Amino acid sequence: MRKEFSTAIEELAVEDDSVIFITGDLGYNALENLQAKMGKRFINAGVAEQNMVGVAAGFAHKGYKVFCYSIAPFIVYRCLEQFRNDVCFNNLPVFLVGNGGGYGYGIMGSSHHTIEDLACLSGQQNAQVWVPAFADEVVPVVRQIAADARPAYLRLGAGKTTPANSYLTGSFKVIHQPAHAETTVFALGPIANNVLSALALAPELAEKVNVVTALHFPLELTDELITLVKKAPAILVAEEHISTGGLAQQLSVQLLEKGIFPSVFKSLKAEGYPNSRYGSQSYHQKLSGLDADSILSSISQLMIPA
């Protein structure tokens, strides 16, 4: 998604002189086009994320819209206090952009993983969190973030293309909706691709499963989505995030507050490091039951009559 993000910022910066881009000394061989187009509005703040967000808040206070870019763990955890105090409390248009969400940086280990970012940021005052599942969602999301002009966090990963006939409803996108669904799978970000791969392994099962992605937080459940869930009330949530503060926890609260009680509710989430080893993103997904085969097994178990 990094290429699509770079393209979106370039287009936005040409149209809007108030857009500033600050990088924490990252983006080699990916952001050179922005530096060339934006000139002095492209700033390399160095390895100083806390300072970067403080500077961004100053620019935003003067009327600029500022995108702050780094790999996800550095932009989230290192400058959380500055984002909370300087940006969110003042409702300023500063937008954190983290590349490689979840286990995206694989073998580089826990210091480079981001499996608690929703828990840290989705509860901040005035802030929105965006988690595209597909690469073609990045450009419209970037434009929406700039148009909203409020604190935001954008988590980038590696996604394919949105399936045909998908549609937005509230903060969700329905990407697969067969006529006789019995189960609804909610997926966070690019894990949706693993869910679709799982269903491709069992076409007969795919005809009984809705697939919905959560595009942004705070969650907004529409009447349309509530109807979908009531018709297919066995729920599976798949996310590359810990259970605390993640999609499953936030979704369950929303459903219960609206008086919706799933027949089954199962959560697949980032399990951290159960064997104290590091590996590729796919390695960690498999350990957490988030690979296509494991997701298929979990869906199949939901379909077994009680």
Question: Are residues 83 and 70 in contact, defined by beta-carbon separation less than 8 angstroms?
Answer: no
Instruction: Give the mean pLDDT of 223-241.
Output: 96
Q: Which residue has the higher pLDDT, 27 or 284?
A: 284
Confidence check: pLDDT of 46 > 70: yes
Sheet-wide strand order for 216-217: 42-44, 19-23, 65-71, 94-99, 152-156, 128-130, 216-217
Give the range among 16-25, 234-243, 282-291 with minimum mean pLDDT: 16-25
Question: Are residues 105 and 145 in contact, defined by beta-carbon separation less than 8 angstroms?
Answer: no
Give the range among 44-48, 94-98, 168-172, 209-213 with minimum mean pLDDT: 44-48
Q: By C-alpha distance, which of 91, 250, 135, 277 is closest to 269?
A: 250
Confidence check: pLDDT of 108 > 60: yes
pLDDT at 63: 96
pLDDT at 28: 67
Q: Which residue has the higher pLDDT, 125 or 29?
A: 125
Residues paired with residue 43 on neighbouring β-strands, in sequence order: 22
pTM of the model: 0.94
Confidence check: pLDDT of 306 > 60: no
Question: Mean of the per-residue pLDDT values for the chain?
Answer: 94
- Cα–Cα distance, 7 to 9 (Å, whole number): 6
Q: Which domains does the chain have, with CATH numbers?
A: 2-156 (3.40.50.970), 167-303 (3.40.50.920)
The CA-atom distances, in angstroms, between 236 and each of 80, 187, 233 are 31, 8, 10
pLDDT at 303: 82
pLDDT at 186: 98
155 token code pair: 């988590």
pLDDT confidence band for 304 (50 / 70 / 90): low
Q: Give, as one character, the DSSP assignment of residue 196.
A: H
The H-or-E segment that residue 117 falls in is helix 117-121
pLDDT at 27: 66
pLDDT at 66: 98
pLDDT at 37: 85
CB-count burial class (<10 Å; 0-12, 13-18, 19+) for 282: middle
- Cα–Cα distance, 158 to 106 (Å, whole number): 13
Q: pLDDT tens across 174-193, in order?
A: 999 999 999 999 999 999 99
Instruction: Give the mean pLDDT of 150-166.
Output: 94
Radius of gyration of the chain (CA): 19
Q: By C-alpha distance, which of 41, 217, 24 is closest to 130?
A: 217
Instruction: Give the mean pLDDT of 219-237.
Output: 96
